[in-house]
Amino acid sequence: MNVIEDAAWLTKLRYRLEDFRATAIFAQGTPCSLKIRPHTGHFCGASAPHAYALIEQRTRGFLSSTIWLGDHDTGPEVLCVLTMKDGQATLRASVAALLQEIFQAAEAGIGAGDSLDRRLDLLWRGFDESGAYFEHLVMRVEPDAPAHSLQAAGGKAIVEAFARWNICFTENRKTSQQKFDQPQQSANTPR
C-alpha cells in the first residue's frame, strides 16, 4: 500500500530516518519505521496515559543504538534496521518483542480507561533505494475479529505478519526460534 503524504511530513520522516542512520551503530542495513496507528483518534501519552506509562516502563530494555522508540500523537513509532543477508530481509527479534509489549500496553491501557481505539494498524514505512516513499500494512488489529484482536497480537502473530512480507527475525546472527506468546522480561519489567 503506497500512500501519498504531504511533502512536509515526508521530509520530517526522511530526516528522522537519516538521523537514526547517522546515530545507529550497524554495519549494513536500511533504516525503517514501524508505526502503530489507531484508526481514529490519537495514541500518545496525553490520550492514552495508562498505556504510555506501561510502554515507558516495559520497553527501555529493548532500546539501543539500533532500536529507537518515538512518541507521536498518531501512535508509537519504532525506528530500526532492516538488513539483507543471503537474500533474506531480517529484523532483530527484540523488535518483535518490543512491538508485542506496545500492543499489550495498549490493551492494558484500554482496560484501565484509556480512550484508545482498539483498531490498530502496524505499518512498515521508509524510503527505497531510489528515495521513493513506501508504506505497507503489516498487521491490522480488529476488536470484532478474535484472531486479529489486541489479545491475539502476540509475538507469534507479529512474526507471522512480517513473514508475509518475507521478513524474518534474527538474534545473534541466527534465526530466532523464540516463542513470543508470553510477555518478554526486560530489566524494567516488574516481576
- What pLDDT score does 20 carry? 81
**The model's pTM:** 0.80
The predicted structure's pLDDT at residue 26? 57
Q: Which pLDDT score is estimated for 182?
A: 40
Per the prediction, the chain carries an average pLDDT of: 81
pLDDT for 189 beyond 50? no
Tell me the one-letter amino acid at 185.
Q
Q: What proportions of the chain, in percent to the nearest 5, are helix, strand and coil?
A: 30, 25, 40
Greater confidence (141 vs 147) lies with 141
| β 88-92/167-171 pair status | parallel
Residue ranges per domain, the chain?
A: 7-25+41-71+80-114+128-167
Q: Taking residues 36-51, report their average pLDDT.
A: 93
Taking the CA of residue 14 as centre, how many other CA atoms within 13 Å lie in the half-sphere pointing to its CB? Answer: 15
pLDDT digits (tens, 9 = 90+) for 48-65: 999 999 999 999 888 888
Query: Of 96, 114, 46, nearest to 74 (Cα)?
Result: 46
Q: Across-strand partners of 35?
A: 77, 123
C-alpha count within 13 angstroms, C-beta hemisphere, residue 89? 13
Residue 129 clears pLDDT 60, i.e. is over it: yes
125 - beta bridge partners?
33, 135
User: 5 pLDDT band (50/70/90 cuts)?
Assistant: low
Residue 21 has pLDDT above 70, yes or no: yes
Place of cell 512518541: 71
pLDDT (0 to 100) of residue 153: 60
**Distance (Å, rounded) from C-alpha 31 to C-alpha 82?**
6
Q: Which three cell numbers stand for residue 41?
A: 483518534
Lowest mean pLDDT among 35-39, 94-98, 103-107, 172-176: 172-176
